[in-house]
Amino acid sequence: MTEHQAVKQTADAKMLDGARVAGEIKAEVRQGVDEFVQTYNSPPALAVVRVGDDAASLVYVRNKIRTSEELGFRSEHHALPASTSEAELLDLVSQLNGRDDVDGILVQLPLPSGIDEKKVIESIDPAKDVDGFHPLNIGRLVAGQSEAAPCTPAGIIELLKRSNIEMRGAHACVVGRSHIVGRPMAQLLLQHDATVTICHSRTIDLASITRQAHILVVAIGRAAFIRGEHIKPGAVVVDVGMNKLTDATMIDELFDDVEAARRHANFEKRGYTLIGDVHPAEAMKRAGWLTPVPGGVGLLTVAMLMRNTLHAARRRLTI
């Protein structure tokens, strides 16, 4: 931790550029895919499975498919109706597991009620689990042996590294203990020699703990929950949240005048604006570095998915 990361900044927080880092990762993946094709005469392949008509899932899947094709992957989109049974979904996963022309499998969450997400995740071949959610891959992550870490935490690590944020010796606090972000995030920070604290909904006096952190990662799904009082002056704040704000009267409280005007214009077109788990205006005045929402962590998640898929393809053909 450099000295200037632990003191109050005299100006507003600097933005951590997730778009730039995601672009760098995708360019590296694109080069890797080109080399893969030259070596094996076929591109790596990603199969994405979506069940039902959840609007957010549809957007996420379209983005993943579009990005994979832009980077030279072969992609498959298996769109199943909401009436699909658990047995039918498991049968499809089994078929994809057995196909030599599929390198990565992603089952988009959430799944409709009546389907056991845990059972579905565990049915994916760990070698093709590009989300990094399979228990075997989580175990490898804990052991420091993971080759397919969950995409969002892995993307955050890349963001910190490529932004010259020192993790070694820093006190890092992760707010949220989900298996998708919070817990693997803590493991990756620990592997980069940070001292890590995990906070959650049962943490007593949350602000007194988060204020100690040089690096604060927030992933709780509660809009603007983390306020200035939670942030150590000069801290690095990574906001993983992605929440729809449908009350336009809140925009002026959450943003400065320039950003508020832009958000109001966006709100008039869409009927909502996206905000994170961190109060943006208060964090800007308190933090040293901050990720924007949108345009921060979300872009990194897709980029890391592409990298995981390329690595899975390489491993499959070199074992």
The structural domain count of the chain equals 2
User: What amino acid occupies position 272?
Assistant: Y
Residues 289, 13 contacting (CB under 8 angstroms): yes
pLDDT in the model for residue 11: 65
- Does residue 144 form part of some domain? no
- Does residue 196 form part of some domain? yes
- Does residue 34 form part of some domain? no
Q: What is the pLDDT of residues 258-301, one digit of tens each?
A: 999 999 999 999 999 999 999 999 999 999 999 999 989 999 99
Residues 7, 52 contacting (CB under 8 angstroms): no
Q: Are residues 202 and 283 in the same domain?
A: yes
Residues of the chain with pLDDT under 50: 1-10
Catalytic residue among 17, 125, 131, 277: 131
Domain containing 93 — which CATH number? 3.40.50.10860
Catalytic residue among 17, 26, 64, 128: 64
Q: Are residues 175 and 292 in the same domain?
A: yes
Supply the range of the domain harboring residue 113: 41-125
263: left (phi over 0), alpha (psi -120 to 50) or beta: alpha
Domain boundary among 77, 107, 125: 125
Q: Are residues 290 and 191 in the same domain?
A: yes
- Does residue 105 form part of some domain? yes
pTM over 0.95, yes/no: no
Q: Are residues 117 and 222 in the same domain?
A: no
Q: Are residues 61 and 181 in the same domain?
A: no
Q: Are residues 13 and 47 in the same domain?
A: no
Q: Are residues 177 and 294 in the same domain?
A: yes
**Longest CA span, the chain:** 58
Domain containing 288 — which CATH number? 3.40.50.720
Q: Mark whether 108 is an active-site residue.
A: yes
Q: Are residues 176 and 292 in the same domain?
A: yes
- Does residue 314 form part of some domain? no
Q: Are residues 59 and 119 in the same domain?
A: yes
Q: Are residues 108 and 175 in the same domain?
A: no
Domain boundary among 125, 151, 173: 125
Residue 142 and residue 42: Cα distance in Å, rounded? Answer: 33
Q: Mark whether 244 is an active-site residue.
A: no
Q: Are residues 49 and 89 in the same domain?
A: yes
Q: Are residues 13 and 48 in the same domain?
A: no
- Does residue 66 form part of some domain? yes
- Does residue 315 form part of some domain? no
Domain boundary among 107, 125, 143: 125
- Does residue 312 form part of some domain? no
Catalytic residue among 108, 129, 239, 277: 108
Q: What is the pLDDT of residues 179-225, one digit of tens each?
A: 999 999 999 999 999 999 999 999 999 999 999 999 999 999 999 99
Q: Mark whether 38 is an active-site residue.
A: no
Give the burial class of 274: count Cβ atoms within 10 A of its Cβ; 0-12 exposed, 13-18 middle, 19 or more buried: middle
